[in-house]
Amino acid sequence: MVTPNRIRELRRSKGWTLNELAAATGTSGDQISKLERGARRLSLDWMERLANVLGCTPAALIQETGSLISVTGIVGSNGEVTSPDHAPPTLHAPPGVSVSNGLRAVIVGKEANSLLFRPGWQLFYYDSPSVPEECINTLCITKVRSGPLLIREVRRGNNRVRYHLLGHPAELQENVALDWAAKIIAIVPA
């Protein structure tokens, strides 16, 4: 799947060739061409490198689809997701992501002390009624039974309905009952 981006548009707006942008980012013209065409994945590292050189935010490199989705909450300290009182009620869905499957988002707040995300980043996931197999050993939004929403890596627990939750930097929580878990399917940097 090709994710649309605005690299070519932003490069041309500066009057640069592929090779000029490549030299400014420390890579080859071939690599820039692959990024522009979507033949190479536009990772967070690439987004930050290109945004720095092009004078924009990493999010500006990605085209918005126009579809609005609900914001579930704000990621705070220790990866806990709280009420979205100070967040926009909706966000644009990232390109290439279907909104028909109950797409939701959380926004990383200023209080988040995550080693993985920075304040303002948007994390997208699909509603989930359970803990699907795809969530095992993956970073997810989790709903602890009779507890909060948390950003955690989900591991198998000591039986089929219990899970170990690994936080970054939160401590390991062992044998936790979950209502559901949803894999983070897209991240949009601020």
Domain boundaries, the chain: 7-61, 68-188
Identify the residue with better confidence: 170 or 135: 135
pTM higher than 0.75? no
Task: Please state the φ and ψ torsions of residue 98, each to the nearest 5 degrees.
Answer: -70, 135
pLDDT at residue 13, rounded to an integer:
83
Provide the token pair at 14. 């500066």
- For the 68-188 domain, the top CATH level (class) is mainly beta
CATH number corresponding to 7-61: 1.10.260.40
Confidence tier at 3 by pLDDT (50, 70, 90): low
Q: At residue 49, does pLDDT exceed 50?
A: yes
Calculate the CA 110 to chain-centre distance.
Answer: 16
Is residue 97 helix, strand or coil? coil
Provide long-range contacts, Cβ within 8 A and 24+ apart, for 96-103.
96/1, 96/2, 96/3, 96/4, 97/65, 97/124, 97/185, 97/186, 99/65, 99/67, 99/69, 101/126, 101/127, 102/126, 102/127, 103/69
pLDDT in tens, 93-103: 887 777 767 88
User: Could you tell me the two tokens for 119?
Assistant: 């304040």
